[in-house]
Chain A
């Protein structure tokens, strides 16, 4: 008998349909992957099982959990189920833990809520649960607070809370999305082990096919509140599933690059952050974010820069863009320094532009798109005015596939993918030589990302652009760059042609990174 059987589940929130006719099941000891792009309803399905839906939600259909329909249960009975029969792990390890309580207390709470045991015993069992998630109390004391833990450790605490009572079903909603690849691999391994040990069912929700493909016995593909298809990974046949699959590992068409002339030269760059200010005078010791980095970007190439969070890649990007002065070394574009004395060299800066990750935070919401796109014209000594300015904006918008009329609209009227196009238009308007793409496609859904990558490739060929492609996502970097730099702890640990580095990584860290990166099975 199935552990969880969802039958024809419908959900509306304040009258708006969110889920329609969703049916799926999870058997004991089985891992079911639920895949979908944003807005597909995958998280809402999970919350429907937990009955932790937002205000104004109405469900229909049946959600059979261990023989009971949770939709008919009263709140009291539901509280008895949650944490006991079904545990849940959430996406954000930063905010999913109460910052004011020790991790021991938070794990023990699951036990205290459901069983009549003493505090001491609950703490002991919390220790065991933490041990099972590989956070043994002798290494990470129960009396630690969440802020003293790394992201991966926090996510383990979250898992420990969910499995403390060995529930029969575990729901994990994007459990690794906020983590670095290496940590992600460890957490996924941990989840897999727990499923095997306890024989529980795992409903693993993710936007990333690569994450799920390697783990799940069955995959459920969702789109716009409906289940499109479910089955084994290799057996997915629905056109949408295929498209999704293709987009996940999209290789844009672009000619191979063979130029050698350096456009940007970075030599021995050192970047320190001052310590925290303490009182009226005096600061703590500075931290070194970029430590003696040297490399070239060749004209017309796509250079990848990969590394995990905190490795210094964003700091390096800001230094290249001349946003912050460096403590040591030189950054030169075509032989001209980015910093001329203490002032930013405008002549250099107008040849570089950037596209940031966040499609929502990258635009001033009070400006029209035309004004946003035209902003870099400020760098020109004699910026075009009136009709010329309008034409420049129109051209930039057209070049990224938007209509010139879109310039009159405001940013909130655009989707995430369109916004990244606008960001690209903004970068293109002053016809730069180099564009820094700082995680520029990381926040996009796979299908949108694939389109964006095609656009980037097309523009680079047409306009002879040079990209510095910064990303934590190795699979993307692998598909779009000519050369790649691997950064760790402020240093470049490996550099080489992309294909070569991925085929035969030289540095142990590179090897770890590549091993941890989820790959789609070739069979698909």
Chain B
């Protein structure tokens, strides 16, 4: 188990190293100079040079890479070129929005998908099933930014139940903060919930066709009991995979939704940083997200083992 963990950690480390190189190299060739961007069109060339020197941009690329990597290993992500504050702090600040938003959306999507998927699977072929599947088809096909626009139009501008966007901040109270995350979370969750519902349903239908379900029924379990006691847990493996993928997606892929609702989240930070050529912020956030994805995948692997005893022996 320990050796397995160590090997796993080693391969994780190599992946991260490769990822960091890819990110750094990609951003090295991005055209645009953060110093010039900051100083605008009237700046004198020597002013730009002075700023470049202060930002450390005139040093060789390998040195900057090593500094960045070395710093990150110690939890120091460097200083943002444009904001002039530690990147770690900025990321932490943005995570206060992005993480709860991702979790909120994930919770919504799971809370919708589980009952809906089970319901549809149980009544396979019935009007309920057809209805749920139809709704999920729409949910998968709808562009979520469009859905977000429509929701803002209806719920913020016309009905005025929610504010049109922005983040109230956690210091304004839990409910207020959650309220400002509600529309974005719904917009993010809808397609995810639809996907998850479909996966849940098809995984359940697959397991319901397994021999051990027939065995269970032969023991005298009702259809519902067989589903709850035997099918559900077996169906969790594909569902867990999707939930893991979704979490990464929700954490990183909310850029557009964060823009529609002007939420100060990670995605928007990256977007802004890219247009301002604040490369160190871009590098660090992308690296962090890659790290998160890899860690979440690792967690999903562990969850498999928790669900499936067959995998425990190998770990």
**A–B direct contact (CB < 8 Å):** yes
Contact A113 B8 (CB under 8 A): no
Q: Sort chain B's interface into a size bin.
A: 20 to 34
Is B157 located at the chain interface by the 8 A CB criterion? no
- In the complex, whether A87 has a CB less than 8 A from a CB of chain B is yes
Q: Is A83 an interface residue (CB 8 A)?
A: yes
Task: Check if B229 is an interface residue, CB within 8 A of chain A.
Answer: yes
CB distance from B48 to the nearest CB of A (A): 46
Report the Cα distance A75→B221, complex, angstroms: 10
| Number of A-B residue pairs with CB-CB distance less than 8 Å in the complex they form | 85
Interface of B (DSSP majority class): helix
| Residue from A83, A87, A98 within 8 A of B230 (CB atoms) | A98
A90–B7 contact, CB under 8 A? no
Residues 59-89 of A contacting B (Cβ, < 8 Å): 75-76, 79-84, 87-88
- Chain A residue contacts of B216, Cβ below 8 A: 98, 109
Mask of B219-230 contacts with A, CB within 8 angstroms, 1/0: 111110100011
Q: Which of A130-163 contact B (CB under 8 A)?
A: 145, 147-148, 158, 161-162
The answer to whether B221 touches A113 (Cβ under 8 A) is yes
Decide: A109 near B307, CB < 8 A? Known: A92-B211, A100-B233, A278-B7.
Answer: no
Using C-beta atoms within 8 Å of the partner chain, give the interface range for chain A. Answer: 20 to 34
Q: Which of A52, A75, A148, A280 contacts B7 (CB 8 A)?
A: A280
B308 contacts chain A at the CB level, 8 A cutoff: yes
B220 touches A83 (CB 8 A): yes
Residue in A closest to B237 when the chains form the complex, CB atoms = A100
Is B49 on the interface with A (CB-CB < 8 A)?
no
Determine if A147 and B310 form an interchain contact, defined as CB atoms under 8 angstroms apart: yes
Interface check A96, CB cutoff 8 A: yes
Question: In the complex, what distance in Å separates the CA atom of A81 from the CA atom of B309?
Answer: 31
A109-B229, A279-B10 are known contacts. Are A100 and B308 too (CB-CB below 8 A)? yes
Most chain A C-beta atoms within 10 Å of own C-beta, residue among B219, B308, B313: B219
Question: For B214, what are the chain A residues with a Cβ–Cβ distance below 8 Å?
Answer: 52, 90, 96
Known: A98-B212, A100-B234. A50 touches B225 (CB 8 A): no
B residues 215-261 near A (Cβ < 8 Å) are 215-223, 225, 229-230, 233-234
**B residues in contact with A113, CB < 8 Å:** 219-221, 225
A457 to B234, CA, bound (A): 48
Closest Cβ of chain B to A151, distance in Å, is 14
Check: A99 CB closer than 8 A to any chain B CB: yes
Chain B residues with CB under 8 A of A83 = 218-220
Question: Which residues of A come within 8 Å of B, CB atoms?
Answer: 50, 52, 75-76, 79-84, 87-88, 90, 92, 95-101, 109-110, 113-114, 145, 147-148, 158, 161-162, 278-280
19 new A-B contacts, CB < 8 A, other than A81-B220, A87-B218, are A50-B218, A75-B222, A79-B222, A80-B220, A82-B217, A84-B220, A88-B215, A88-B218, A90-B211, A90-B215, A92-B211, A96-B212, A98-B212, A100-B307, A109-B221, A113-B225, A147-B309, A147-B310, A162-B218
The 10 closest A-B CB pairs, nearest first, are A83-B220, A279-B7, A95-B211, A83-B219, A82-B220, A88-B218, A145-B309, A98-B212, A110-B219, A96-B211
